[in-house]
Amino acid sequence: MTSGPKTALIAGSGALPAALVGAMATPPLVAALNGFVPDGLAVDITFRVERLAPFLRHLGDHGVERVVFAGAVQRPSLDPALLDPQTATMLPRLMQAMADGDDATLRVVLELFEEAGFAVAGVEDVAPRLLPGPGVLVGAVTSRDEADAARAAAIVAALGAVDVGQGAVVAQGLCLGVEALPGTDALLAGVAGLKPGLRPDPARGRGLFYKASKPGQDRRIDLPTLGPATVQAAADAGLGGIAFQAGEVICLNLAEMQRLAGALGLFLWARE
């Protein structure tokens, strides 16, 4: 029996990198962008964008053949004094992509790693159990919930087409909020703070939070992520449950998400 290719995890901040490592069959080399340290995970290499070319060579020197990306990263401040000649040739392409939006930036990042000779893997390649398949995982889904989820899915698809967000809250067909740069926590906090007159009577359906990947999104990077904190935030927002795109949304600690949703009276639905 032969082992697979040596893998490096290119990690950002948050809990996802550690969860991914915990679900992988073979521990990867962990590399983190300077200033974006993952939670609860030891880092083997820290790198800077200004020194990307030497970093890529360093991965090759360590026998790395494949990379996987996980964790949150914001656009870093760049110090021109740290640039090496080879990275300097890459920078205009990267800067143009940053100006074009997150999707364009991610595409160029993947291209740079592939051009350096690395295969790029997705979560489904290295830890597929983090992506639940279709089904109602907790609770019961009503016809009203099905209609709200369909409406939310259409909204999220429209948002994703212009590279805005991956989530929306819908109750009785009304959109109570959409996810943008501030993220899921801000969206759900905003819904929780809505005045009673701005949302429909919860007795006829409390609504749901829906999460999905963007249309045509490269599944190897930036998949949507949910966790126990999302379940609590949805409950605090007065919603009836969470629906998400089956097979394309990462669930951190799914067992705890299910336990918490059951305790709070929410449904969890991986929608096909």
Asked whether the CA dihedral 24, 12, 182, 214 is positive or negative, the reply is negative
Q: Is residue 162 part of a domain?
A: yes
Instruction: Show which of 77, 102, 126 is a domain's final residue.
Output: 126
| pLDDT reported for residue 3 | 60
62: nearest Cα among 93, 83, 35, 31: 31
Q: Are 123 and 225 in contact (CB under 8 A)?
A: no
171 - beta bridge partners?
A: 174
C-alpha span between 144 and 17 (Å, rounded): 36
159 and 52 inside one domain: no
Please tell me whether residues 122 and 138 are part of one structural domain.
no
Cβ-based neighbours of 42, under 8 Å, separated by 6 or more:
30
The pairs formed by 32-36 with CB atoms below 8 angstroms and a separation of 24 or more are: 32/71, 33/73, 33/76, 34/76, 35/76, 36/11, 36/12, 36/71, 36/72, 36/73, 36/74
**Does any domain span residue 73?**
yes
Question: Are 69 and 136 found together in one domain?
Answer: no
DSSP H/E element including 84? none
User: Which residue in the block uniquely carries the two structure tokens 């800077």?
Assistant: 48
Each of the 272 residues of the chain gets a pLDDT tens digit; together they read 346 789 999 999 999 999 999 999 899 999 999 999 999 999 999 999 999 999 999 999 999 999 999 998 887 788 889 999 999 999 889 888 888 777 788 889 999 999 999 999 999 999 999 999 999 999 999 999 999 999 999 999 999 988 899 999 999 999 999 999 899 999 999 999 999 889 999 999 999 999 999 888 888 988 999 999 999 999 999 999 999 999 999 999 999 999 999 999 999 999 99
Are 28 and 68 spatial neighbours (Cβ–Cβ below 8 Å)? yes
Examine residue 1 and state whether it is found in any structural domain, yes or no: no
Asked if 166 contacts 182 with a C-beta cutoff of 8 angstroms, the reply is no
The burial of 171, by beta-carbon neighbours within 10 Å (0-12 exposed, 13-18 middle, 19 or more buried), is given as: buried
Which pLDDT does position 2 carry in this prediction?
A: 44
HEC string of 115-174 equals HCCCEEECHHHHCHHHCCCCEEEECCCCHHHHHHHHHHHHHHHHHHHCCCCCEEEEECCE
231 vs 264: CA distance, rounded Å: 9
Same domain, 59 and 122: yes
- Within a domain: 72: yes
Q: Judge if pTM exceeds 0.95.
A: no
Q: How many domains does the chain have?
A: 2
CATH number of the domain to which 210 belongs? 3.40.140.80
- Residue 78, domain extent: 7-126
Residue 51 sits in the same domain as residue 163: no
Residue 66 phi, psi dihedral angles, 5° rounding: -140, 145
| Placement of tokens 């490269």 in the chain | 218
- 2 lies in some domain: no
- SS3 call for 32: strand
Q: Are residues 102 and 40 in the same domain?
A: yes
Residue 206 domain-assigned (yes or no) = yes
Find tokens 């949302």 and name the residue: 199
DSSP 8-class letter at 176: E
8 A C-beta contact, residue 70 and residue 22:
no
- Token readout for 133 is 């398949």
Is the residue at 197 inside a domain? yes
